[in-house]
């Protein structure tokens, strides 16, 4: 019996399997790397993505050189974290405005007493977390967000982590045949699969008129680093333009799976007053929904981006 199994034919392309083990291309940044920072300490959580920043007080206005260094740290590490920042909602907004104009989310209303740019995620025994799908925020917009800043106010006793994946690493490691295939393709992004459950049928029609599906390149170029990034996500990307439905779905599912590769990920464990600041162009994220019925309270402000190319 054992011999028979041993002789079971192996697939012809066994040596070209997409999920082959072995070395991966792991670069933090392609234009420059290993920058030194003079205003703060960088504590990496992973070799390529995610670092804690120590020695910055986010309640205070930023000097121009500090702001520029933080931007460089964000570009290099893609998501940077701060601990013990007991700041107000207004201070969070003021910090975010150092990096660009803020956007207002079309479907999330700001909580009472907060500026319109604030989104609150209040998850508890009534409302379970539903952000546990890989995504880049608002990729259904013509100009998806550049970056976002999330502040945790209440943290469950265990669980409630967030993961980010480096979409530059995801692109770098694709087989050449796939890179050639997707380099000039566009995909459709649509809010409907992820947000329609929050709307009545009438509201859905109204919003679909205002935010009709948009196309973005599957491979976008980072406007600040020039890096090629894989830019499709299972939350909003519905279809590849020019491919039939089956072909589109197979290719999308393969591309979506790239975020699952642990070498491209960082997982952050929150404490009250932890803050994450991520580059939404270069990453995708996934909020682990494992803490029900405990409470997890967070507020996000989002920095507007430009049209992917
Ligand atoms: Fe998100």
65 alpha carbon – ligand 1 mean position (Å): 29
Average pLDDT, the chain: 94
| 147 neighbors 277 (Cβ within 8 angstroms) | yes
Active site residue 285: yes
CATH code of the region 2-303: 3.60.130.10
| 133 neighbors 221 (Cβ within 8 angstroms) | no
Q: CA-CA distance, 241 to 186, in Å (whole number)?
A: 6
The domain ranges of the chain are 2-303
Which residue in the list 28, 29, 137, 141 is annotated as catalytic? 137
91 alpha carbon – ligand 1 mean position (Å): 21
Which contiguous run of DSSP H or E holds residue 283? strand 283-287
Q: How do residues 180-217 score in pLDDT, each as one tens digit? A: 999 999 999 999 999 998 899 999 999 999 999 999 99
Q: How do residues 122-137 score in pLDDT, each as one tens digit? A: 999 998 888 999 999 9
280 alpha carbon – ligand 1 mean position (Å): 9
With a cut of 80, say whether residue 23 has pLDDT above it: yes
């Amino acid at each position: 019996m054992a011999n028979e199994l041993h002789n079971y034919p192996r697939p012809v392309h066994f040596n070209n399997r997409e999920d082959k083990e072995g070395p991966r291309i792991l670069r933090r940044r392609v234009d420059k790397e290993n920058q030194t920072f003079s205003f703060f300490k960088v504590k990496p959580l992973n070799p390529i993505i995610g670092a804690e920043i120590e020695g910055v007080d986010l309640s205070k206005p930023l000097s121009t050189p500090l702001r520029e260094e933080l931007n460089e740290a964000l570009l290099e590490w893609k998501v940077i974290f701060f601990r013990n920042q007991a700041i107000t909602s207004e201070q969070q907004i003021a910090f975010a405005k150092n990096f660009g104009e803020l956007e207002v989310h079309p479907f999330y209303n700001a909580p009472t007493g907060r500026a319109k740019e604030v989104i609150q995620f209040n998850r508890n025994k009534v409302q379970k977390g539903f952000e546990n799908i890989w995504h880049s925020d608002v990729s259904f917009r013509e100009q998806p967000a550049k970056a976002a800043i999330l502040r945790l106010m209440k943290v469950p006793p265990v669980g409630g982590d967030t993961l980010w994946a480096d979409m530059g690493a995801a692109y770098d490691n694709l087989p050449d045949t796939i890179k050639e295939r997707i380099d000039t393709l566009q995909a459709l992004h649509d809010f409907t699969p992820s947000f329609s459950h929050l709307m009545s049928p009438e509201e859905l029609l109204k919003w679909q008129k205002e935010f009709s599906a948009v196309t973005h390149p599957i491979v976008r170029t980072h406007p600040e680093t020039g890096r090629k990034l894989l830019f499709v996500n299972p939350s909003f990307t519905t279809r590849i333009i020019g491919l039939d439905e089956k072909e589109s779905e197979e290719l999308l599912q393969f591309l979506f799976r790239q975020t699952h590769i642990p070498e491209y990920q960082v997982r952050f464990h929150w404490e009250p007053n932890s803050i994450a600041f991520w580059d939404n162009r270069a990453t995708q994220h996934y909020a682990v929904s494992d803490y029900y019925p405990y409470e997890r309270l967070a507020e996000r402000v989002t920095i507007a981006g430009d049209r992917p190319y």
